[in-house]
Amino acid sequence: MTAPPGTTPPDTALVRARALRKSFGHVEVLRGVDLDVEAGEVCCIVGPSGSGKSTLLRCINHLEKLDSGQIHVDGELIGYRRVGRKLHELSERHVARQRSGIGMVFQQFNLFPHMTALENVIEAPVRVKREPSGEVRTRALSLLDRVGLGEKADAYPGQLSGGQQQRVAIARALAMRPRLMLFDEPTSALDPELVGEVLETMRALAEEGMTMIVVTHEMGFAREVGDTLVFVDDGVIVERGAPAEVLTDPKHERTRSFLSRVL
Ligand SMILES: Nc1ncnc2c1ncn2[C@@H]1O[C@H](COP(=O)(O)OP(=O)(O)O)[C@@H](O)[C@H]1O
Ligand SMILES: [Mg+2]
């Protein structure tokens, strides 16, 4: 679609990544990645191991520095500020503030083992955002309820199954009231029988309108919950589209060959 003369097309994407490049040593892991994710969209990212999926997610909340390119979330440049034509990295404090609006859930749940589920959920809003602990506690209890763990508020991670721990990790990320949630293979470390409960929690979150970028090998989830499916290979986005289309009728040989191995 072309915009009428004299107007610029609306740029509504919540996440706008442009020309991202990132190397580790001599290996270029992201080789010019553009990604747009609209508010409320569930964007699933699939691709072979080592293709750069985690690095891409980590760049979006500036856990990795970029070599070049830019990421905007909700119109805000992530990790850098512009001075003239140059970009300067933001201070840790500024980065932490930006990160507080972006929830991240990892394959390994990374809960604090010496804290109860409730304490894990309460920790960041109180420590990072200095919110009143009474209010945060009420919100944390309702979040634990929402992920189906209202009864487990006082349990320690060691007393919870992997699926339960991952749901606590999701509640913990939500406690910061993020505008965007990043999931990096959230079910890959789980026993097969525990995968469904975590995907169900993520589906409910998607239905409530959360903007989500989900790196996953769960093609069923991508097809049913994803609005878009992005196939990454060797540091580039090879193909993207509606999940049902990409999964049943991939346009590129590399996508086809990857899918034939995983489906
Ligand atoms: N901190 C790092 N230092 C060096 N190499 C890294 C680092 N992080 C990732 N890599 C390398 O970058 C490549 C892409 O990694 P990653 O983004 O984790 O891929 P994926 O998540 O798709 O499996 C891999 O070859 C990996 O070994
Ligand atoms: Mg990874």
Quote the ligand 2 centre to 159 CA distance (angstroms).
27
pLDDT (tens digit, 9 = 90+) per residue, 168-189?
999 999 999 999 999 999 999 9
**Cβ–Cβ contacts within 10 Å for residue 254, how many?**
16
At residue 12, the pLDDT reads: 78
Q: How are the residues of the chain apportioned to helix, strand and coil, as percentages rounded to the nearest 5?
A: 40, 25, 35
Query: What is the residue with the minimal CA distance to atom 12 of ligand 1?
Result: 29
At residue 111, the pLDDT reads: 97
pLDDT (tens digit, 9 = 90+) per residue, 32-84?
999 999 999 999 999 999 999 999 999 999 999 999 999 999 999 999 999 99
* Ligand 1 contact, 24 CB (< 6 A): yes
pLDDT (tens digit, 9 = 90+) per residue, 205-261?
999 999 999 999 999 999 999 999 999 999 999 999 999 999 999 999 999 999 999
At residue 263, the pLDDT reads: 83
Q: Residues 151, 141: contact at Cβ < 8 Å?
A: no
* Ligand 1 contact, 51 CB (< 6 A): yes
Element (H or E) spanning 166, and its range? Answer: helix 162-174
Residue among 55, 61, 104, 232 whose CB has most ligand 1 atoms within 8 A, to mutate = 55
- The separation between CA 232 and the C-alpha centre of its own chain, rounded to angstroms, equals 15
Q: What is the mean pLDDT of the chain?
A: 95
- Measured from the Cα of 51, ligand 1's closest atom is 22
Q: Which residues contact 197 (CB under 8 A, 6 or more apart)?
A: 148, 163, 164, 167
Query: What is the residue with the minimal CA distance to atom 8 of ligand 1?
Result: 55
Query: What is the residue with the minimal CA distance to atom 13 of ligand 1?
Result: 50
At residue 187, the pLDDT reads: 97
pTM for the model stands at 0.94
**Cβ–Cβ contacts within 10 Å for residue 67, how many?**
12
pLDDT (tens digit, 9 = 90+) per residue, 11-33?
679 999 999 999 999 999 999 99
- Measured from the Cα of 57, ligand 1's closest atom is 17
Helix axes 133-146, 117-127, angle to 10 degrees: 130
